[in-house]
């Protein structure tokens, strides 16, 4: 006797997960030009949730569009947020608006690193998160 997985036989197994749009960018990142997404990377305006999630979604959209040199900007922005969290310089939100956004990455290993990084940030553990950030950087810079 087989158990039903809730999928029909015609549905793809590895379908992409669509993350909700960040609060500072109105619905559908695809509707915005690259300039606005680059601005989100430079100055995330997340209100009530992790700013890291906002820059991740903007980064994934820019990668999908083929924007050159966006990886360096993403890493610089992420390191800046991480530094602020580690120093306790400001109270940044830790609630995760989209726990499945790691699936937006083409490379599953990068997605898992991102998922683990966000989990550490949500639990206010900047030490282990810095190791994951370094691993993430090594994978993206390749």
What's the pLDDT tens digit per position in 95-108?
Answer: 887 889 999 999 99
Residue 62 and residue 134 in contact, taking contact as beta carbons nearer than 8 Å: no
Please report the pLDDT score of residue 23 as a whole number: 41
Cβ atoms < 10 Å from Cβ of 33: 8
What's the pLDDT tens digit per position in 30-65?
Answer: 445 888 999 999 988 878 889 999 999 999 999 999
Task: Grade residue 142 by pLDDT with cuts at 50, 70 and 90.
Answer: confident
Cα-trace Rg, the chain? 16
pLDDT above 60 (res 121): yes
Residue 50 and residue 119 in contact, taking contact as beta carbons nearer than 8 Å: no
């Amino acid at each position: 006797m087989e158990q039903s997985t809730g999928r029909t036989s015609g549905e793809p197994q590895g379908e992409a997960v669509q993350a909700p749009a960040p609060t500072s960018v109105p619905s559908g990142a695809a509707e915005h030009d690259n300039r606005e997404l680059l601005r989100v990377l430079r100055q995330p305006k997340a209100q009530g949730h992790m700013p890291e999630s906002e820059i991740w979604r903007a980064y994934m959209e820019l990668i999908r569009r083929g924007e050159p040199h966006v990886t360096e900007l993403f890493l610089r922005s992420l390191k800046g947020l991480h530094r602020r969290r580690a120093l306790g310089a400001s109270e940044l939100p830790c609630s995760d608006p989209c726990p499945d956004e790691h699936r937006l990455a083409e490379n599953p290993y990068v997605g898992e690193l991102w998922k683990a990084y966000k989990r550490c940030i949500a639990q206010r553990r900047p030490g282990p998160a810095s190791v994951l950030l370094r691993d993430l950087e090594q994978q993206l810079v390749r």
